[in-house]
Amino acid sequence: MKYSTVVLDLDGTLTNSEKRVTDRTRQALFRYMEAGGTVVLASGRPTYGVWPIAKELQLDVYGGYILSFNGGNMIDCKTQNIIYQKKLREKLPAILARFAKEQGVAILTYEGEQIITETPADVYVQKEAFVNRMSVKQVEDFGTYVDFPVTKCLIVGDGDHMVTVEQRLKELLGAECCIFRSEPYFLEVVPKGIDKAQSLDRLNTYLGKRADDTAAFGDGFNDCSMIAYAGLGVAMGNAQDAVKDVADEITGTNDADGVAVVVERFLQEI
């Protein structure tokens, strides 16, 4: 196959509006893996939130990979070994918590199967919990509680305000962290050097593959780098304009089996 690796964002790409993988898409990916292709799930989600979909696609059987936290964790699904991981500086969660309070927005991070936050009732905290099927643990002081290494903090708030919040945070910590919005209301903070393109490049190096061997699919701001990096960058029909601008082609929406349409074409070209 020309593209021996397919890299898939989850929300808005692989999953439909109901956060499900359709039967058509699932079967197309099964046939692709049976033909020797490798499937990689690349998401801003925590690892716990990616595993159910990885298991649904039997990546633990076929031998796929997870790039969770936008690649802050890289996992071999068959062995469940962590190939690569990078954490934020120890005192950074406390700094981010103070910043979030000053900006009037909420902050969260992850501990095992739980989301950690001071504001469990926040609508965007609840949205993150729902998407990842995680429970929410309320803590009195985020900065004091998070005294363990974390890969990502997520700052959440109304989309219009988050534009300003993003600009201010980049001025404060842009030299130390990668800061970007995966959704208009989600501002992700991960260590420098962690984005989907750099993470995918690490995986390709590990697997002995090239960018030209890779087809990447996405819809959100945080997908732009890997869409531009891949040999074939595919924007979903529902993608942000910035993603469409850097893509090689635009497929159907996540509610119209946009991933399956392209993967089925790959199979016809074998």
Q: For residue 208, which amino acid is it?
A: G
pLDDT in tens, 104-155: 999 999 999 999 999 999 999 999 999 999 999 999 999 999 999 999 999 9
Backbone region of residue 71 per phi and psi (left: phi > 0; alpha: psi in -120 to 50; beta: other values): left
How many CA atoms lie within 13 Å of 94's alpha carbon, on the beta-carbon side? Answer: 10
User: Tokens representing 243?
Assistant: 């993603």
Cα 127 → chain centroid: 15
What is the tens place of the pLDDT at every residue in 197-248?
A: 999 999 999 999 999 999 999 999 899 999 999 999 999 999 999 999 999 9
Domain edges within the chain: 5-86+194-268, 92-191
* Domain 92-191 CATH (choose: 3.30.413.10, 3.30.70.260, 3.40.630.30, 3.30.1240.10): 3.30.1240.10
Question: What pTM value is reported for the model?
Answer: 0.93
Same topology, domains 5-86+194-268 and 92-191? Answer is no
CATH 3.40.50.300, applies to 5-86+194-268: no
